[in-house]
Structure 1
């Protein structure tokens, strides 16, 4: 017998999706920030770590504002050409918002900004798919850093281990990763267990805009990269 449509359960709660309103809010926030801060920077990042970035942002919250998200939305906020830019020359900033980049707006002197970004560097454990920066090889013999309870887990990661009188032991040499190769999920887990950090979270300045000036910082870029089309 077919189910009665009268008995159909209807969910009254609604989930608000990110859409046009969300994009408009970001656009308006960026445009307001342009009015409030004297300089705008594009920065690129490697090995983003959200918690570390949040801490860095908190340190500068009294003088600065960061924006991360859709490059296209940030470009629209500033204007992508001379015809629609919100300030003279600011479309050059939009053209450099590509890949892993963000906006940094601040009232700090440019020398202070350069120092902060150049000195910022945080080390962390590499994730699956990251490139190994060195070869890590474990030699045959006891692994005293691991308790006997870890033996089954290590074996699941592909390590040739056994218990010898309650001590975890490698029965043969084992290469965790090779320099230049991508890390497998197993290799990333083993490196974490070994306490070996191969990822460096960095922020690099790409360019700076102010009402009176425009500068490029990143090597390999020149003014032809930001010429209006």
Structure 2
């Protein structure tokens, strides 16, 4: 029986109100954290991975990390001496731009710096990341690591993957059931921005070029002082180019 083409009334009673509620929750949490903790750190993230950020949250479970809408967090902290939530806190809000978050903690500054400087997780690059080195697959039989390790320590590339390699731009062919290249193939050059095809090839060959890092920008203490950790102008400019979708994903998890 054909479906009716008549207009149907759609109820909006189940419309998600999480957007406004999420902002209000983030605002309230930031206010409460200012009262509870001795320090507030602004940080940016390189090569965002939710898995690693969850690990950071777990390691700092006696502290609080807020990662979401920067305008909401800035409003909660205060942007002027008249509306700041605590003495000197308004000076920190100028760093709340781009893909940044706030760590509220009671741990001393040197402890925070040492921990985050040592926390680096290497992962596969995504499109838009800059290649950290050249990667060239030698001519001849192709191995699973693409020549990155000696052939004696490697295994041959499965012939079922040959069509995928060709689709991603590698001029491969099957020779007696073996995936081969007539000439060496350069997947990427150091310093170039990687495309989606390049990152897929790098992942197929097990080449990781992205480091997840948390970069500390500046911090406020209850003494009313705000201290820059590094060239915050460069950090904020860099983080502003990171896709805003990461902020949305993390804020939904708050």
- Per the alignment, residue 221 of structure 2 pairs with 210
Higher relative contact order (CA 8 A, sep 6+): 2
CA distance change for structure 1 residues 87 and 169 in 2, over 3 Å: closer, same or farther?
Answer: same
- Partner of 2:180, secondary structure, is strand
Structure 2 residue corresponding to 1:159, chosen from 170, 180, 186:
170
TM-score, scaled to structure 2: 0.80
Q: Which runs of 5+ in 2 are unaligned?
A: 145-156, 234-254
Q: Work out the CA distance in 2 between the residues paired with 1:73 and 1:149.
A: 50
Deviations 1:9-31 (A, max 9, x none): 43465121334332121101110
Query: Do residues 36 (structure 1) and 47 (structure 2) align?
Result: no
**Match for residue 136 of structure 1?**
135
Query: Partner residue of 1:94?
Result: 93
Paired with 1:21 and 1:41, the residues of 2 have a C-alpha distance of 25
In 2: Cα distance, 1:156 partner to 1:168 partner:
14
**1:174 alignment counterpart:** 185
The size of the alignment, in residue pairs, is 217
Write out per-residue CA displacement over residues 58-102 of structure 1, whole angstroms, 9 at most, x where no aligned residue: 1111x2100111111110010011121111100011111112211
CA contact (8 A) 2:65 2:101 kept: yes
* Residue 197 (structure 1) aligned with residue 208 (structure 2): yes
Tell me what 1:118 maps to: 117
| Deviations 1:159-212 (CA, angstroms, capped at 9, x unpaired) | 111111111001222110111111111110010011111101111111121111
What are the residue-to-residue correspondences of 1:42-81 with 2, within 5 Å?
Answer: 42-61=42-61, 63-81=62-80
Aligned partner of 2:161 in structure 1 is: 150
Cα distance in structure 2, aligned partners of 1:136 and 1:211: 49
Q: Give the Cα–Cα distance (whole angstroms) in 2 for the partners of residues 166 and 19 of structure 1.
A: 54
In 1, distance between residues paired with 2:92 and 2:40? 8
> Normalization by structure 1: what TM-score?
0.89
Q: Is the 8 A contact 1:144 1:167 kept in 2?
A: no
